[in-house]
């Protein structure tokens, strides 16, 4: 492991000289290291999680829509089941939502798309994102705008996007949440102005008797993501695993810990023995090794900090509930994990 420029003498020196520190790792020993158990975020973790089987996206999905999903950062929400929702009525829903947005606009509510724009909503299917046949099909909602005096033939500008999905939803859990009149899309992902999100959310609440909640990601679940996604061999986008820790000091300071993909994969392969599931003990041991290795080089206890962001070849996820998908190959697996968290957030 290499020290950052200028070296690191003590944690005290670090806190006074830099607000954000980056450490680059170049390798790990493959033997057991000293425990950092007392501050690791695993007090209430599940004992194990199953690894969804690789299921490449079907060719039926629009490549333009997949490009949209992969190109933006999304804010995560959990959603209670939608009452009397039907995929057959998407066009009617679009008409009603468009009317609702226009009515709100006439009240003088600004939502960062300008004051002289025609605004409309469009609903469309997102096939290929279910994960399991019994899960309901995902759908996309987009709000577009065009200036009243725009040039003829000019395209509408997408000013807001959101999509509902239930990827790899557990059948037993969904059976408890759904009926003939209730359809469960526990995960809602949004990109756009918060004011528009509130307007769209209000319409859904009134139309389908549902409610939305922000979906933060705990340090514990970020640790699970780190371990589970290390096992995925993304081919189109290979990057270092980057862990960002928040240090409980004023002024605020983060520590960035970057690990070469080959190094963390070798470490994980030495720890993880199962084929179909990951154990909580394995996740904990991975972080004990990372923490101990870091302390040996920099004399800083990462166990006293909070893991707030994880990035690797598969995705980038922040604890405040923001995600950027980086691998089309493993999009379903990431959505499956987020769907599980969304369902847990509903309970």
Would residue 117 count as lying in a domain? yes
Where is the domain boundary, 178, 195, 210? 210
Would residue 187 count as lying in a domain? yes
Where is the domain boundary, 210, 241, 266? 210
pTM of the entire structure?
0.84
> Domain tally for the chain?
2
Would residue 338 count as lying in a domain? no
Say if residue 200 is in the same domain as residue 247. no
- Listed in sequence order, the DSSP H helices in the chain are 11-17, 63-71, 90-106, 171-177, 194-208, 219-230, 261-271, 280-298, 331-346
Q: Which domain holds residue 145?
A: 81-210
Say if residue 93 is in the same domain as residue 204. yes
Show the tokens assigned to 345: 């957030």
CA distance 277 to 300: 32
CA distance 116 to 183: 37
Would residue 247 count as lying in a domain? yes
Say if residue 242 is in the same domain as residue 196. no
Q: What count of other Cβ atoms lies within 10 Å of the Cβ of residue 286?
A: 21
Say if residue 225 is in the same domain as residue 240. yes
Say if residue 137 is in the same domain as residue 241. no
Say if residue 324 is in the same domain as residue 205. no
CA distance 39 to 208: 43
Would residue 241 count as lying in a domain? yes
One digit per residue, the tens of pLDDT, for the chain of length 347 reads 433 333 333 333 333 333 444 544 434 343 333 333 333 343 445 788 887 765 555 547 778 888 999 999 999 999 999 999 999 999 999 999 999 999 988 886 555 555 446 889 999 999 889 888 888 999 999 999 876 666 676 778 899 999 999 999 888 888 888 888 999 999 999 999 999 999 999 999 999 999 999 999 999 999 999 999 998 888 877 899 999 999 999 999 999 999 999 999 999 999 998 878 999 999 999 999 999 999 999 999 999 999 999 999 999 999 999 999 999 989 999 999 999 999 999 86
Where is the domain boundary, 210, 238, 266? 210
């Amino acid at each position: 492991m290499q020290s950052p420029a200028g070296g690191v003498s003590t944690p005290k020196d670090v806190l006074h000289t830099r607000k954000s520190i980056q450490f680059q790792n170049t390798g790990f020993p493959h033997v057991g290291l000293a425990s950092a158990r007392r501050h690791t975020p695993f007090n209430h973790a599940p004992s194990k999680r199953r690894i969804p089987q690789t299921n490449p996206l079907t060719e039926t999905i629009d490549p333009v829509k997949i490009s949209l999903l992969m190109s933006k950062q999304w804010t995560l929400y959990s959603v209670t089941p939608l009452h009397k929702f039907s995929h057959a009525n998407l066009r009617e829903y679009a008409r009603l939502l468009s009317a609702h947005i226009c009515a709100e606009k006439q009240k003088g509510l600004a939502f960062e798309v300008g004051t002289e724009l025609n605004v409309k909503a469009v609903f469309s299917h997102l096939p290929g994102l279910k994960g399991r046949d019994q899960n309901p099909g995902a759908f996309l909602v987009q709000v577009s705008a065009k200036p009243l005096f725009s040039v003829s033939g000019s395209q509408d500008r997408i000013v807001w996007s959101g999509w509902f999905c239930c990827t790899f939803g557990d059948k037993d859990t969904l059976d408890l949440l759904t009926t003939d009149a209730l359809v469960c899309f526990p995960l809602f992902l949004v990109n756009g102005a918060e004011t528009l999100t509130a307007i769209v959310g209000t319409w859904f609440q009134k139309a389908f008797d549902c409610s939305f909640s922000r979906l933060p990601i705990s340090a514990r679940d970020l640790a699970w993501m780190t371990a589970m996604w290390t096992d995925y061999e993304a081919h189109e986008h290979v990057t270092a695993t980057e862990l960002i820790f928040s240090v409980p000091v004023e002024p605020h300071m983060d520590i960035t810990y970057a690990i070469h993909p080959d190094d963390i994969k070798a470490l994980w392969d030495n720890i993880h023995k199962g084929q179909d599931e990951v154990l909580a003990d394995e996740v904990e041991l991975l972080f004990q090794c990372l923490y101990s290795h870091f302390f040996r080089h920099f004399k800083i206890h990462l166990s006293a900090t909070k893991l707030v962001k994880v990035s690797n070849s598969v995705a980038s996820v922040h604890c405040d509930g923001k995600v950027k998908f980086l691998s089309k190959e493993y999009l379903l697996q990431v959505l499956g994990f987020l769907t599980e968290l969304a369902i847990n957030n509903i309970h």
